[in-house]
Amino acid sequence: MYTGLLHTHNMFRWLVLIVLASAIIFALAGWFGKREWKKRDNLIGLLLTIFMDIQFLVGIILYAFVSPITKAAFADFGAAMGNADLRFYAVEHILMMVIALVLVHIGRAKSKKGTVPWKKHRTAAIFYSIGLLLILAAIPWERAFV
């Protein structure tokens, strides 16, 4: 079960990154091009939040229930904080990913509720870009191509 979930989490990351990059490109083009907010802009934001929520769900199942890494970290949390790998998975990875998830959701909600089209794009671009930076910082790149 662990291996299957881990592979799903690892592979789904690429779909999230592709959709996130697409959402940022559309938002930047809309912001700087001062174009109208289109159905496509709303759809890409919706897909992004759905894919990120699915990724988070798989990740939280790994984190809380099946990962031997987090089980080891929580067995002796004090010692885990002294081990960079255990600390990364037990604290840093999940914290940055949760913040990124929240930022993407805020960006989507604020951009949907906006009234000025280029400001809607700006809001999406800013929140999605900060989310992307956090995600890139929190990805365990040594496992990225497994």
Q: What is the pTM of this model?
A: 0.93
Structural domains of the chain, count: 1
CB atoms within 10 A of CB 131: 26
43-69: pLDDT as tens digits: 999 999 999 999 999 999 999 999 999
Residues 6+ away with beta carbon under 8 Å from 139:
13
Domain that holds residue 13: 2-143
6-16: pLDDT as tens digits: 999 999 999 99
64-83: pLDDT as tens digits: 999 999 999 999 999 999 99
SS3 of 63-106: HHHHCHHHHHHHHCHHHHHCCHHHHHHHHHHHHHHHHHHHHHHH
